Structure 1
């Protein structure tokens, strides 16, 4: 078995696996119903309108894979917004009440019954966060399947082109065989394409330089077979592709995180909302501490800002490469900061007073009549 045939077999197996995974995803849609916010989750996942009386639509049923990917990406963005809001509410409640009191709220021995409102609020937020996390995971898994289906579809297009070229090559070869048979009967000898044609070109190979490159004119049927083999190899490469799950973005504020992630190509897998928020929360603490302590004379308070660099690999935030850092403005490019720094320097000079130089410390010029030494 030659390399092209082997690659074609591997690509066909990958296509079959993608189709089987897609069928499995359709069969597992009922699992979402177990989530408490099932109606909302299915609305996000399946692109139904906000009118819940209308039947929910399954994007895997008829839409092309590329449209499925875009719809599921939009669903993930909407889930991320909702997850962010619920997560912030949990953090705010945690910071307001305190860990010790929350432990009492959530205790199972009945002592938390007197704190019913905060405890119930926290439990509701926990359930909502868990449901949204499960919904995001489900949407993400289905988008991975849809992305692979896109690759499989693109590979199938290339295979169709290869099959068409092979059929054309067979038709041409059959017609050529009949003509050669007639010519053999007419001339009494066999005819075949010559090794060299008048249109061949030879490049190089003169004077001991680069080796000679011969451009050979091949029969059309043979050339079509070569093109078909190249298309099969390209189809195998496309079918073997994996979703892009690494990248990086730079943010000015944490609030624009979801907007920037929403701008990613739907075929790219970004980090999950839970992963992003946990990283930002942990990395912001030391950065905010530095922000409050950097009050030196070279710093203008209103220009202190945080910057966020988010790097992810394999669909998860890379905490070693990601960072939240203090951005210090460049006063040479910031007129307001430059003027404020100049004013502060002038005020400090006035406080120090004029500089007094001892005459004995002044430089003395010595001359020998021909010039200064």
Structure 2
């Protein structure tokens, strides 16, 4: 009975598949990918929530008229609309819950990025320390040989130069202090250890400020949203809250411009509008956020109160 044999073309592929090692995953990239994933979930569900809320509002607004126009089938239509309203309300609530969960988990995931970065710095410091130990051992061996050869101790020249600098009587003239490799390694290790320790007391950033650029022609207020959420490692207010503020700010600016047109203030109308959005603890600070013409008074979006810009 004949046995099947692998073709020469497929055999190397099978061998490579069996012997290939698993690809290592960078801990920093993996931690950052989780932050990005949760942020993408928040954006997607925020968009879904906006769509479902609009559908719900339209049904609730029109259902009375639709039932009256049903020509005898109003009761059946009412039941159908009630089912749709209930489903949409539940969906909106589900979107809100999912968005809140994604934000909580993202806040918890951000420190893992810092810890992964700190761990990498610690590994680099350990590698430098091992290099420094090997270098120091070899230096000690060479100095021992030199002492045996010369019959006297030798010290690095930079130690002598430092002593000269500390003694005003001898610190005359210009000279360069050349640090030995062992000192450079020690300095590098200290810097790496210091950087690795920084994330230990770090907190997730939950506040910030963004503004449109008055010198940039054609910048739209919608760009303020992308500025606010540009960094997933920082917690801006929920996307729908940002969009609502931008809509109110745009309406306030449109009202101001309409008044300028009415009063014939063409020069003032040409001044670019500055949108400034401030938030603290993931919530918009209405008292500090404003929309205003560049270099002129500002207006609080929430109250309409004039503020000096």
Q: TM-score by structure 1 length?
A: 0.50
Mapped to 2, the partners of 1:291 and 1:121 lie a distance apart of: 41
Give the equivalent residue in structure 2 for 1:88. Answer: 54
Structure 2: 5+ residue stretches without partners: 1-26, 65-74, 213-218, 295-309
Supply the distance in 2 between the matched residues of 1:290 and 1:119 (Cα, whole angstroms): 42
Task: Find 2:128's aligned residue among 165, 173, 180.
Answer: 165
State the distance in 1 between where 2:174 and 2:241 align. Answer: 56
Tell me, in whole angstroms, the C-alpha distance in 1 between the residues paired with 2:257 and 2:59.
24
Pairwise CA RMSD: 4.6
Q: 1:72 to 1:189 in 2, by over 3 A?
A: same
Q: Return the alpha-carbon distance in structure 2 between the equivalents of residues 213 and 141 of structure 1.
A: 59
Task: Report the equivalent of 2:69.
Answer: none
Is residue 147–residue 154 contact of structure 2 (8 Å, CA) maintained in 1? yes
1:126 corresponds to which residue? 89
SS at match of 1:229: helix
- 1:231 is aligned to 192
Aligned equivalent of 2:180, options 194, 213, 219: 219
Larger relative contact order, structure 1 or 2 (CA cutoff 8 Å, min sep 6): 1
CA distance 1:63–1:164, change in 2 (3 Å): closer
Q: 1:224 offset after TM fit, Å?
A: 1.0
C-alpha distance in structure 2 between counterparts of 1:93 and 1:257, whole Å: 31
For 1:187 and 1:249, locate their aligned partners in 2 and report how far apart those are by CA, in whole Å.
Answer: 70
Deviation, 1:299, is 7.5
Equivalent residue pairs, number: 244
Question: What is the deviation of 1:194?
Answer: 4.2
Q: Deviation string for 1:215-238 (max 9, x for gaps)? A: 533332233112201111122224
* Aligned: 1:180 with 2:146: no
Deviation, 1:177, is: 1.6
- Matches of 1:223 and 1:62 in 2, distance apart? 27
Q: TM-score, normalised by structure 2?
A: 0.59
Displacement, 1:181?
A: 2.3
Tell me the equivalent position of 2:282.
315
2-side partners of 1:309 and 1:73: how far apart?
A: 23
Matched residues in 2 for 1:163 and 1:308: separation? 48
Determine helix, strand or coil for the equivalent of 1:311: strand
Aligned equivalents of 2:175, 2:50: Cα separation in 1: 64
- For 2:210, the equivalent position in structure 1 comes to 248
Residue range with higher mean Cα deviation, 84-93 or 113-122: 113-122
Q: What are the within-5 Å matches in structure 2 for residues 66-145 of structure 1? A: 66-92=32-58, 96=61, 116-145=79-108
Pairing partner for 1:266 from 211, 232, 238: 232
SS of the residue 1:176 aligns to = helix
What SS does structure 2 have at the residue aligned with 1:64? helix
- Aligned partners of 1:224, 1:156: CA distance in 2, in Å? 19
Does the residue aligned with 1:192 lie in a helix, a strand or coil? coil
What's the offset of the Cα at 1:277? 5.3
- Give, in whole Å, the separation in 1 of the partners of 2:107 and 2:193: 24
Task: Summarize the alignment of residues 145-160 of structure 1 with structure 2, pairs less than 5 Å apart.
Answer: 145-160=108-123
Query: Quick check: which has more Rg, 1 or 2?
Result: 1
Distance across 2 between alignment mates of 1:237 and 1:213: 38
SS in 2 for 1:177: helix
Q: Compute the displacement of 1:321 (Å).
A: 2.4
Q: Contact 1:261–1:270 (CA<8 Å) still a contact in 2?
A: yes
Which deviations, in whole Å up to 9, do the C-alpha atoms of 1:104-140 show, x marking residues without a partner? xxxxxxxx99954454433323211211111112222
